[in-house]
A and B are shown apart, each in its own frame.
Chain A
Amino acid sequence: AQTVTQSQPEMSVQEAETVTLSCTYDTSESDYYLFWYKQPPSRQMILVIRQEAYKQQNATENRFSVNFQKAAKSFSLKISDSQLGDAAMYFCAYYGAGSYQLTFGKGTKLSVIP
């Protein structure tokens, strides 16, 4: 079974600074997808970024980027120029190709300090 581990229960960052959230996963599959979801206090789960395992290039979405290390089974999220609105829980999720099931990590609570 796949597992997703987020080793940082809480993180904080100064506004306008950069922060990196860690995620590791365990799988025997070769084809899969990885996601980062954001959950602000409103509870809405918002897809932030995704990465296909077959792509070597790291995904980027504006201020959000990932560092995907397939051999190490690592998938970290970097948030640049942090804003107050980035404060939220961030969940890393795994999705095996041909599957339907998302496996989530426990989440990292990010605080942004003005």
Chain B
Amino acid sequence: DAGVIQSPRHEVTEMGQEVTLRCKPISGHNSLFWYRQTMMRGLELLIYFNNNVPIDDSGMPEDRFSAKMPNASFSTLKIQPSEPRDSAVYFCASSHQKGQGPYEQYFGPGTRLTVT
């Protein structure tokens, strides 16, 4: 299995630009998570999808952030407009949630976003 795939691995953009991060979960997994990692706040859950439906987006920091999952094999996290404080590593993770847990989450390699 290819694991969770994220693109791009690195993104440098200017303040005010739109940024789109992409994720392909592991085939057969029905849950997808977007996390943000910073030195100050550690790993934070931004949004959780189950069967392509957003279940919990309480971690999305502002309306500038949006996430979609149009099908079981693809998700995007969009920031518009981007700000320097959005600079972080963004992780996508997937898991197969069925029956008894634990539902181990498998992480992608992350996208390092730098907003100047």
Interface size on B, residues (CB 8 A): 23
B14 to nearest A CB, angstroms? 23
* Residues 34-63 (chain B) with a chain A CB within 8 angstroms: 42-43, 45, 48, 50, 55-56
Given contacts A52-B102, A95-B102, A98-B101, contact A43 B110 (CB under 8 A): yes
**Chain A CB within 10 Å — which of B31, B89, B93, B104 has the most?**
B104
Is B42 touching A107 in the complex (CB atoms < 8 A)?
yes
Is A100 touching B55 in the complex (CB atoms < 8 A)?
yes
Is B109 touching A104 in the complex (CB atoms < 8 A)?
no
Complex contacts, B101 vs chain A, CB 8 Å = 33, 95, 97-98
Interface size on A, residues (CB 8 A): 22
* Residues 19-43 (chain B) with a chain A CB within 8 angstroms: 31, 33, 42-43
A92 to nearest B CB, angstroms? 11
Is B105 touching A102 in the complex (CB atoms < 8 A)?
yes
Q: Give the complex CA separation of A47 and B45 in angstroms.
A: 17
Q: Give the complex CA separation of A33 and B104 in angstroms.
A: 10
Complex contacts, B97 vs chain A, CB 8 Å = 100
Complex contacts, A101 vs chain B, CB 8 Å = 45, 48, 56
**Chain A CB within 10 Å — which of B31, B55, B107, B109 has the most?**
B107
Given contacts A42-B109, A45-B91, contact A104 B43 (CB under 8 A): yes
Is B103 touching A44 in the complex (CB atoms < 8 A)?
no
A106 at the interface (CB under 8 A from B): yes
8 nearest A-B residue pairs (beta carbon): A45-B107, A33-B102, A104-B43, A43-B110, A106-B42, A44-B109, A95-B102, A97-B101
Chain B residues close to A by CB (< 8 Å): 31, 33, 42-43, 45, 48, 50, 55-56, 89, 91, 93, 97, 101-107, 109-110, 112
